[in-house]
Structure 1
Amino acid sequence: MHCKRLIASALTLSFAMLAALQSVDAAERVKVRGTVESLDGYTLKVKSRDGDDVTVALKSGWQVDGVVQAAVSDIKPGDFVGIASQPTSSGINGAIEVVIFPASMKGTGEGDRPWDSAPNGSMTNATVANAVTSVNGPTLTLTYKGGERKINIPKGTPVVTLAAATKNDLKPGAGVFITGERSGDSTVSANRVAVGLNGTTPPM
């Protein structure tokens, strides 16, 4: 009898673990880009760039980051940046947007990975090793653990940095960028929201 109970307990635990794994797999990582429609408690309504209405369920302890305009001239060797880019005919990736991270966030998401803002796009979070001025704008050499990437920043590329913000900045019409998980009911859950301040549109 004792053996049967052990087997039953083991099976119950196995099924519970399987269910947990399936629920993780069912959660799809998504990025929400758009403007705020409303904020009611922990529920944020967003009109996406595609015109869809998206409901974002904010997790307990959620945080908000402000996004403000910056300039290419603000980027210095040693700075930690996040740059979305795509391949060009020159063989050097061209930037689509640049985020200059505050010193306190150095190392955040370090590395090079695919990014969905452009065909064959990538996101490189890395330290600026050096910058070379060129006709098409500065070319930065970015270094991260395990590699490096050169990225040219054409004139007109959006450049932003992060600033303090509060939930009061999530006003209707404010631009937002959110990374979260979408479950079967199409609601996106997230613990962080990036909101544009002073009319800035988060370019991420």
Structure 2
Amino acid sequence: MKFFQIRALAASVLLAGGLAAAHAQPAQPARTAVRGTIDQVSPTSVEVTARNGTKSTIALPADVRVAAVSIAKLTDIKPDSYVGTAAVPQADGTLKALEVHVFAASLRGMGEGFRPWEGADGKKGSMTNGTVGSVVTTSGTTMKVKYKEGEKTVVVPPDVPVVYLEPGDATLMKVGAPALIFAQKGDGGALKALNVIIGKDGTIPPM
């Protein structure tokens, strides 16, 4: 069974203020990504052991969004596919993909745009979510990814992990399942899940 390394987009904290405001609005509560294996799950919480051995208990709101991720192929990247890719810049101005996730049609538009990204290993790059305009396949794949503010050319080497992301539900959250949970820290550091991504058949969620 093939396991992919987890790469995650680091969530940013935004400060905002009106033109007439004397000071900026308070920062949004801190967000974190918990990557690991589910130990226990109940209707209101999930316990996870992270890759570094840290254990966390995360509250599950009734409306938490759950998605499933499974192994896909380079050939699943087609014109008009909606994709997300973590990548690093190349000397010629293109981006080199580190992973690609292909979204189900019902998730089109999720996270659209281009933004800074930092992987679990601290490596910095970018995350691009958008619609594939064209695909050229040679020894890998080169794709044009269009989003509202622009377009990026992304080179996808043949050995880059490609996964499929689709809507899921709470039944996917089982003991032993690999999970990626984006959570928000509340007062006292308590965690509340915002999004839960569960790997099918042992697939480790990317992003």
TM-score range (shorter-chain normalised) is 0.7 to 0.9
Q: 2:110 matched to which residue of 1? A: 108
Distance verdict in 2 for CA 1:55–1:116, change over 3 Å: farther
Summarize the alignment of residues 115-194 of structure 1 with structure 2, pairs less than 5 Å apart.
115-117=117-119, 119-135=123-139, 137-194=140-197
2: CA distance, partners of 1:184 / 1:158: 37
Deviations 1:122-145 (A, max 9, x none): 11110001112243x111111111
2: CA distance, partners of 1:37 / 1:126: 34
Deviations 1:107-128 (A, max 9, x none): 1111001122152221111000
Q: 1:40 matched to which residue of 2? A: 42
Compare 104-113 and 46-55 and name the one that shifted more: 46-55
Task: Report whether the alignment pairs 1:195 with 2:205.
Answer: no
2: CA distance, partners of 1:192 / 1:78: 25
Query: For residue 57 of structure 1, what is the amino acid of its counterpart?
Result: A
Query: For residue 48 of structure 2, what is the amino acid of its counterpart?
Result: V
CA contact (8 A) 2:142 2:155 kept: yes
Query: For residue 125 of structure 1, what is the amino acid of its counterpart?
Result: N
Same amino acid, percent of matched pairs: 38
Moved over 4 A (4+): none
1: CA distance, partners of 2:123 / 2:62: 35
Structure with a larger share of its residues in helix: 1
Task: Give the greater-gyration-radius structure (CA).
Answer: 1
Summarize the alignment of residues 50-89 of structure 1 with structure 2, pairs less than 5 Å apart.
50-89=52-91
The unaligned stretches of length 5 or more in structure 1 are: 1-20
Distance verdict in 2 for CA 1:58–1:51, change over 3 Å: same
SS at match of 2:118: coil
SS at match of 1:61: coil
2:33 to 31, 34, 42: 31
Query: For residue 72 of structure 1, what is the amino acid of its counterpart?
Result: L
Q: Across the two proteins, how many residue pairs are aligned to each other?
A: 181
TM-score (norm 2): 0.79
CA contact (8 A) 2:103 2:166 kept: no
The unaligned stretches of length 5 or more in structure 2 are: 1-24
